[in-house]
């Protein structure tokens, strides 16, 4: 199988990373066993567009265990780990990706992956689906459907449905409870701080963290900031989320006010232009900014460059910008997802659940595509609950079951019953 990667000699290093996560992804191990017996993707081709690190590599192996010919491609140029990609290629999985690909290379890689003519796809953020619809119309009939990983991608799919352009069914894996409750909240919460701390090697306790966006990811980032001893300020545009942040014990204010206080700024809104010129000039010298939202549009890097009098690399993955007033501001990982571009992403145990949802959702598409239409589907409750039960099982835990009396009680409505 043809691949476009940096260096196959890195494979042993990548294999070591994959070997570390496999025993820690027990739900996916159970799904793999089922797939090996049932071969739901026998004779089919799958393109997986995700952050190319060890956990994704294992998902690729699980989908292959279900009988598919698998090709992987990056969903973000800065999160690709060249050694992991090399290990995949050595194991017979196709790959078109390398770390720090230019925009042109990134798009070429997507095209090369699509040249395999997939039957099913997994996407993260919507770039693959968008590329297929805008540049590869000949594949629209062939592709039977797929699954989308993240909030931003699901939003883009809904926009495609609104505009009447989506041509195959997509499952919104992000919207499953076993995804956002654990991956977005606890996964992002932990891995964002891991990325910030390993990159800066600075203390968090006693400092002020400004978090823009109090959605599922923002809640996790704020919770962990509090646990690390930081003062936490939340910026929101949704009054309900703002009240929720207040009741969770955080301060709430607009970015124009918070800009003055922050030592750390973390954007995680899925929206654009969250921190701009008017905020940079208010910041304390030494302030550190990063983004955890899907695209690198939340910190306005173009405006930061515009008002900076100088710019230099201060440390690996940290750019220092000096403003005319003399204050120095720092941006991590060029404003791309800090936990993936300057870290290894979510913990393996969290991605275990997310990728089990991905694998089972793709199986659902493979078994039911003739009954599905070109819409965005929610993950079946049975799949969501199956992943939760398998997770408990993998932890050696069990839970209570409803008795017949309880089922009857919950279903009753008359005050005379029971």
Beta strands in 77-169 (DSSP E): 94-96, 120-123, 145-148
Max CA pair span of the chain: 78
Residue 358 interacts with ligand NAD (CB under 6 A): yes or no: no
Tell me if 298 sits within 8 A of 335, measured CB to CB. Answer: yes
Tokens of 371: 């009954």
Which residues between 282 and 321 bind ligand NAD (CB under 6 A)?
Answer: 292-294
Any binding-site annotation on 293? Answer: yes
Q: Which residue, 337 or 359, is less far from ligand NAD as judged by CB?
A: 337
Residue 274 interacts with ligand NAD (CB under 6 A): yes or no: yes
* Secondary structure letter of residue 125 according to DSSP: S
Tell me if 62 sits within 8 A of 91, measured CB to CB. Answer: no
Any binding-site annotation on 131? Answer: no
| Interface size with ligand NAD, residues (CB under 6 A) | 28
Residue 14 interacts with ligand NAD (CB under 6 A): yes or no: no
Residue 339 interacts with ligand NAD (CB under 6 A): yes or no: yes
Minimal CA–CA distance to 185: which of 21, 338, 350, 32? 350
* Secondary structure letter of residue 105 according to DSSP: H
Residue 146 interacts with ligand NAD (CB under 6 A): yes or no: no
Residue 151 interacts with ligand NAD (CB under 6 A): yes or no: yes
Please choose, out of 77-85, 160-168, 268-276, 375-383, the segment that lies near ligand NAD by the rule CB under 6 A: 268-276
Please choose, out of 58-66, 94-102, 108-116, 211-219, the segment that lies near ligand NAD by the rule CB under 6 A: 211-219
- Count helices and strands in the chain by DSSP H and E runs: 18, 15
Any binding-site annotation on 380? Answer: no
DSSP string, 30-95: HHHHHHHHH-TTTT-EEEEEE--SHHHHHHHHHHHHTT-EEEEEESSTTT--HHHHHHHHHTT-EE
Minimum distance of ligand NAD from residue 180's CB (angstroms): 6
Please choose, out of 18-26, 67-75, 236-244, 278-286, the segment that lies near ligand NAD by the rule CB under 6 A: 236-244
Tell me if 417 sits within 8 A of 407, measured CB to CB. Answer: no
Any binding-site annotation on 220? Answer: yes
Please choose, out of 52-60, 165-173, 210-218, 308-316, the segment that lies near ligand NAD by the rule CB under 6 A: 210-218
Please choose, out of 79-87, 266-274, 354-362, 380-388, the segment that lies near ligand NAD by the rule CB under 6 A: 266-274
Residue 122 interacts with ligand NAD (CB under 6 A): yes or no: no
Residue 95 interacts with ligand NAD (CB under 6 A): yes or no: no
Residue 360 interacts with ligand NAD (CB under 6 A): yes or no: no
Euclidean distance between CA atoms 167 and 17, whole angstroms? 37
Beta-bridge partner residues of 47: 71, 121
| DSSP helix/strand/coil, 366 | helix
Residues forming contacts to ligand NAD in the complex (CB under 6 A) are 150-152, 180, 184, 188, 212-218, 235-238, 241, 268-271, 274, 292-294, 337, 339
Name the binding residues for NAD(+). 150-152, 184, 213-220, 236, 271, 292-294, 339, 346
């Amino acid at each position: 199988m043809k691949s476009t990667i940096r260096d196959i000699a890195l494979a042993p290093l990548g294999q070591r990373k994959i070997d570390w996560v496999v025993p820690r992804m027990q739900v996916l191990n159970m799904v793999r066993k089922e797939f090996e017996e049932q071969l739901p993707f026998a004779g089919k081709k799958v393109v997986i567009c995700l952050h190319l690190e060890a956990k994704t590599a294992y998902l690729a192996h699980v989908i292959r265990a279900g009988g598919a010919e698998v090709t992987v491609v990056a969903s973000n140029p800065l999160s690709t780990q060249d050694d992991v990609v090399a290990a995949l290629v050595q194991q017979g999985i196709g790959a078109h990706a390398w770390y720090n690909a230019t925009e042109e290379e990134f798009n070429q890689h997507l095209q090369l992956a699509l040249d395999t003519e997939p039957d099913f796809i997994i996407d993260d953020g919507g770039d693959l689906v968008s590329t297929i619809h805008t540049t590869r119309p000949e594949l629209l009939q062939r592709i039977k459907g797929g699954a989308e990983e993240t909030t931003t991608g699901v939003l883009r799919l809904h926009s495609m449905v609104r505009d009447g352009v989506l041509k195959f069914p997509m499952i919104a894996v992000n919207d499953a409870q076993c995804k956002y409750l654990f991956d977005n909240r606890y996964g992002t919460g932990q891995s964002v701080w891991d990325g910030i701390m390993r990159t800066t090697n600075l203390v968090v306790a006693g400092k002020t963290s400004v978090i823009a966006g109090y959605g599922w990811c923002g809640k996790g980032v704020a919770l962990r900031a509090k646990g690390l001893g930081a003062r936490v300020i939340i910026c929101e545009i949704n009054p309900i989320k703002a009240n929720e942040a207040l009741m969770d014990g955080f301060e709430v204010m607009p970015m124009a006010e918070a800009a003055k206080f922050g030592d750390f700024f973390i954007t995680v809104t899925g929206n654009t232009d969250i921190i701009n010129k008017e905020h940079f000039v208010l910041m304390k010298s030494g302030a550190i900014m990063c983004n955890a939202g899907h695209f690198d549009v939340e910190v306005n890097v173009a405006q930061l460059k515009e008002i900076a009098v100088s710019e230099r690399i201060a440390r690996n993955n940290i750019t220092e910008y000096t403003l005319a007033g003399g204050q120095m501001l720092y941006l991590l990982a060029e404003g791309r997802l800090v936990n993936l571009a300057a870290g290894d992403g979510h913990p393996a145990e969290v991605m275990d659940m997310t990728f089990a949802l991905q694998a089972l959702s793709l199986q659902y598409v493979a078994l039911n595509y003739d009954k599905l239409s070109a819409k965005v589907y929610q993950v079946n409750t049975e799949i969501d609950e199956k992943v939760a039960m398998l997770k408990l099982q993998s932890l050696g835990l069990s839970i209570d079951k409803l008795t017949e009396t309880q089922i009857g009680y919950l279903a009753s409505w008359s005050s005379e019953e029971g």
